[in-house]
Amino acid sequence: MWSAVREQRSRERSRGGEGGRKRGRRGAMTFEERKKRALKRLAERGADADIVEILERINRLENFFTTSSCSGRIVLLKIPHAGSKREAEFIAKWHRPVSAAEVLLALKSMQGRNAGCSAAREREEIWLIEQPPIIHVACRDLRSAEEMLEVAYASGFKYSNLKSLKHFVVEILSTERMDVPLCECGRMLCTAEYIEFVVSRANFLLNRAKKKLKRLLENLSSLE
């Protein structure tokens, strides 16, 4: 489930975020050249409003630059029964807490579209997924990566890790997430009351995750 969402996030970041660098031979571009290109992309494509200040602060640091980010969101995702990543499709995305009414409305609109669909379409599932903030930071070297990881952990981003050893890319990642299957298309499997409960938990987790962004912003000053 998560792999489908992360691949979608990765494609979106490549299209609409500040990332999407082509992978060249190691040493083909210097750190400064890669940073310049990443910042150009960020300026062109922008980023989620409540994460912009953090990105700016990281990008002002000599030994770091951001390559992609998302400030956290709640999504409804449609996937084929077999969980095929390539065919996953977003039904709705919210970068803020949502109401059960919004979620139910989005689900109902899907049911309307699926009326009269094939048996294969009826095996599709819809999942509600809450995703925490995520920021990818390219670091100049291993030591810088260590420093960034310490700042991330100290700010509550306990799932942070070193994602790539090629360009020392640190993934700043928090822990709050939820993956809940809600229905197989054409068939709602849970009650409206349950959806209200799930939505309240998703909002709680998203809010808690977003609060950590403030701590991260403060703690970044230790790298200046």
Kindly identify the residues of this chain, within the stretch 142-181, that bind a copy of itself according to CB under 8 A: 142, 145-146, 149, 158-159, 161-163, 165, 171, 175-181
Residue 146 in contact with residue 161, Cβ under 8 Å?
A: no
φ, ψ of residue 171 in degrees (nearest 5): -105, 115
Q: Phi-psi bin for 216: left (phi > 0), alpha (psi -120 to 50), beta? A: alpha
83 is a site residue for a copy of itself (CB under 8 A):
yes
Residue 124 interacting with a copy of itself (CB under 8 A): no
Decide if residue 140 touches a copy of itself (CB under 8 A).
Answer: no
Closer Cβ to a copy of itself, 39 or 110, answer by number = 110
User: What mask of x and - would describe binding to a copy of itself in positions 194 to 213, judged by CB under 8 A?
Assistant: x--xx--x--xx--x-----
Span from 59-67, 86-94, 104-112, 183-191 in contact with a copy of itself (CB under 8 A) = 183-191
Classified as helix, coil or strand, 157 is: coil
184 binds a copy of itself (CB under 8 A): yes
DSSP 66-129: EEEEE--EEEEEEE-TT--GGG-EEEEEESS---HHHHHHHHHHHHHHTTT--HHHHT-EEEEE
Residue pair 30/58 in contact by the 8 Å Cβ criterion? no
Query: Which residues of this chain interact with a copy of itself, rule CB under 8 A?
Result: 1-3, 6, 83, 125, 142, 145-146, 149, 158-159, 161-163, 165, 171, 175-181, 184, 189-191, 193-194, 197-198, 201, 204-205, 208
